[in-house]
Structure 1
Amino acid sequence: MTDQVKRHRLDVQPAAVFPLLPGLGRIMVIVRSAGSLHERIGPLDTAEISDHSVTLSGACHAAVIDLSSLDSLHYDTSSVMKDKVLPRLDFMTASGEPGVSVVGLEGAEPFETALRQFARIPAVAPERAAAEATPPETGGDPAAPVLEALVGGDPVTIRFETASVRQQWQGKVEAVKPMSGFFNIMTPDFHLHLKAGTVASWQDADGWRHALDAEGNRTGLAIGPLA
């Protein structure tokens, strides 16, 4: 790629690009909320559009995305790791924030091949909050005992839901690692980075354990099914 602009808005409706995702190889599908990240890693098997939503499916993974919540599509090639470009598609909401993001883990070529059919308009990346000078403490956090109880147990489902997307992963949790103010679950096909202080308590309902904030509202994180 010779273009020095690293971020573009693609001249296409976001719904038209989802069917291309299964052809992009190993990718990361990222959902954000309240400073936390739910990241599913691996190839997609299918991307099925019906009515006003799209369902992404792959091994141990499912996501349902509300197409009406998406406003535009940005393509970013600014991230480089070990001389490999990690291209990112940000499916943007009307508020200017990514509703869901997709990062390519096999370099730029699969993305460039799939996306070259769409015209590109230079775009500016949304501002990101600066990292906190003093990360929140993880000790004594209400999230810790529930997450740590998953370690070494039966497979579980970890779901993350926002106004735009509901994504869930199924598998075994081998470790929970507190670091830099986050609780981190990291497996070959899934990462959860839960910011300390996000969860104040838990609510058991409908076979799920829902994380609540300090006001008693659901944060979007849920674990299930319960035994």
Structure 2
Amino acid sequence: MTTNRREILPVPPASVIRKLPAMGDLMITAKQNGATHERIGTIEAVTIEDGWLVCGGTAHDSRIDPTAITTMIVDRTSVMQEKVYPRIDFRRGDEVLFSVVGFAGIEPFDAALAEFGPGAPLPEEPKEPRAKRVEASLEDAGALPLRAALDAGTKISIGFKRTGFEQNWTGVIESVKPAMGFINVMRPDFHLHLLGNSVSTWKDGAALDADGTPTGLSLTLHNAAVPA
């Protein structure tokens, strides 16, 4: 099948989401208000709960409202060390609601989408230069509960929520490291990148911004309280 390097898929979003398990290892990533929440691995099943699609398995825990998705853009232009990392941006209007990045290469990605045929071609986007950021600090309010969980060795749940999309991870943090302006938690099946100074405090486990508005990021320390 002939494929475009970038294209719009004019098919129902639910039909594409149901194909994700066939792509092998992939990342589901979403960002909002300075937080980037990523789950990594193979989706074992896509089920339906109250009209939402649930991507589940040992490495995934995402809930998606397919009615919130207005456009799906496939991008096959990302290449690192001679390997293609294809991506689907699931958009709501002008915003990217969440993205899926294939880690198993282009072949299983294209095979999973083959039945839909080529989409409407789009021009390639120019690569934006990486923004310069002030280095984040481990004394940042956003880092405090992450450091508390690390020091205690306790299990933690890190949730992310925005309109039409929710994602969670539960596990034990092995490190909290500032880099590139973010506070970073890296596990084989999960990454959190939290922009420095994007959290002013925590209330009942919810991250609040400088105006006291919830950012969509939440933490639960098992057997402990989240430091404010």
1 CA distance for matches of 2:157 and 2:59? 9
SS at match of 1:143: coil
For residues 160-193 of structure 1, the C-alpha deviation after alignment (integer angstroms, 9 at most, x for no partner) is 1111211001111000010111000001111000
For residues 8-54 of structure 1, the C-alpha deviation after alignment (integer angstroms, 9 at most, x for no partner) is 10121111111111111111010111232100001011111345311
Residue 218 of structure 1 corresponds to 214
Bigger shift: 70-79 or 141-150?
141-150
Residue 143 of structure 2 corresponds to 144
Cα contact 1:136–1:197 (8 A) shared by 2: no
SS at match of 1:149: helix
- Once the two structures are TM-superposed, the CA of residue 124 in structure 1 deviates from its matched residue by 4.9
Residue 170 of structure 1 corresponds to 170
TM alignment of 1:1-227, pairs within 5 A: 5-59=4-58, 61-94=60-93, 96-118=94-116, 119-124=118-123, 131-135=130-134, 137-138=136-137, 140-151=139-150, 153-204=153-204, 209-227=205-223
Q: 1:131 to 1:82 in 2, by over 3 A?
A: closer
2 CA distance for matches of 1:99 and 1:33? 9
2 CA distance for matches of 1:222 and 1:93? 22
Cα contact 1:13–1:73 (8 A) shared by 2: no
The count of residues paired between Structure 1 and Structure 2 equals 221
For residues 127-180 of structure 1, the C-alpha deviation after alignment (integer angstroms, 9 at most, x for no partner) is 997643343542532112211111151221110111121100111100001011
Aligned-residue Cα RMSD (Å) equals: 2.2
- Once the two structures are TM-superposed, the CA of residue 224 in structure 1 deviates from its matched residue by 1.1
Q: 1:166 to 1:127 in 2, by over 3 A?
A: farther
Cα contact 1:87–1:111 (8 A) shared by 2: yes
- TM-score, scaled to structure 2: 0.89
Q: 1:166 to 1:124 in 2, by over 3 A?
A: farther
- Once the two structures are TM-superposed, the CA of residue 126 in structure 1 deviates from its matched residue by 7.7
Cα contact 2:5–2:124 (8 A) shared by 1: no
Give 5+ residue unaligned stretches, structure 1. none
Cα contact 2:88–2:101 (8 A) shared by 1: yes
SS at match of 1:199: coil
Residue 226 of structure 2 corresponds to none
Cα contact 1:169–1:190 (8 A) shared by 2: yes
- The percentage of aligned residue pairs carrying the same residue is 38
